Amino acid sequence: MANVLFINFKNYRQAFEGFPKLYQNLEAVARRYPAVGTFFAPPPLFAAKIADATDIPLWAQHSDPLTLERGTGFLPAEGERYLGIKGTFLNHSEHPMSDQDLAKAVELSHNAGLSTMIFADSIEAISRIRRLEPNYIAYEPPELIAGDVSVTSARAAIIPEAVEAARPTPLLVGAGIRAEEDIQTALKLGAIGAVVSSAIVTASDPAAALDRLLSAY
């Protein structure tokens, strides 16, 4: 399994005001590291614009368990496919889902040809969602999100357990990832990569921040 890095732009102001330069600069950096699969998860309101402005594979930040019928204000995976979306995040700690909705969203996403990454905050959760057969699982303790302490520092001992609990599904880590050492530790402990957000999107020099992280693979 190839190493990967996902950039979650969330709905940060920079993700909107920086268009298109932010995305194009980051794409240029990613192209210098072809051995690492780099993916963007742009703000849902901006996905179509990013698809037109870059060639980086795009992932949705969320998909709802709905088909293309009724459902005002929701994000059906089948509809996201028409934007060229390649995959979708599910059950992020900032957008949690019930087990029933999660199972249905995975099914509909896969039926639409989208890959899936399910976020989990514990070993128990990883063991439970592994049975849904997502393409990736991301271990992300919510209390560390956007903080100054990374998951690879605060939860390093748990990462090998998380990798084993997720097997055979490849595991990524997230929350507080911002330095080369975080990436190196994650890979050393068995993860295939990371999900990052503020460390790149809100950085004073996002391209340089991405270059540092990709250089660690």
Per-residue pLDDT of 61-86, as tens digits, reads: 999 999 999 899 999 999 999 999 99
Complete DSSP assignment for the chain: ---EEEEE-TT-HHHHHTTTHHHHHHHHHHHT-TTSEEEEE--GGGHHHHHHH--S-BEES--BS--SSS-TT--BHHHHHTTT--EEEES-TTS---HHHHHHHHHHHHHTT-EEEEEESSHHHHHHHGGG--SEEEE--GGGTTSSS-HHHHSGGGHHHHHHHHTTS-EEEESS--SHHHHHHHHHTT--EEEE-HHHHTSSSHHHHHHHHHHT-
Q: How confident is the model at residue 147 (pLDDT cuts 50, 70, 90)?
A: low
The pTM (predicted TM-score) of the whole model is 0.95
Catalytic residue among 78, 95, 140, 161: 140
Better pLDDT: 87 or 157? 87
Residue 146 has pLDDT above 70, yes or no: no
Domain region containing 145: 4-215
| CATH number of the structural domain spanning residue 75 | 3.20.20.70
Instruction: Confirm whether 92 is a catalytic residue.
Output: yes
How many structural domains compose the chain?
Answer: 1
Instruction: Confirm whether 95 is a catalytic residue.
Output: no
Give the model's pLDDT for residue 3: 97
Catalytic residue among 69, 92, 94, 124: 92
Q: How confident is the model at residue 176 (pLDDT cuts 50, 70, 90)?
A: confident
Q: How confident is the model at residue 188 (pLDDT cuts 50, 70, 90)?
A: very high
Question: What is the pLDDT of the chain when averaged over all its residues?
Answer: 94
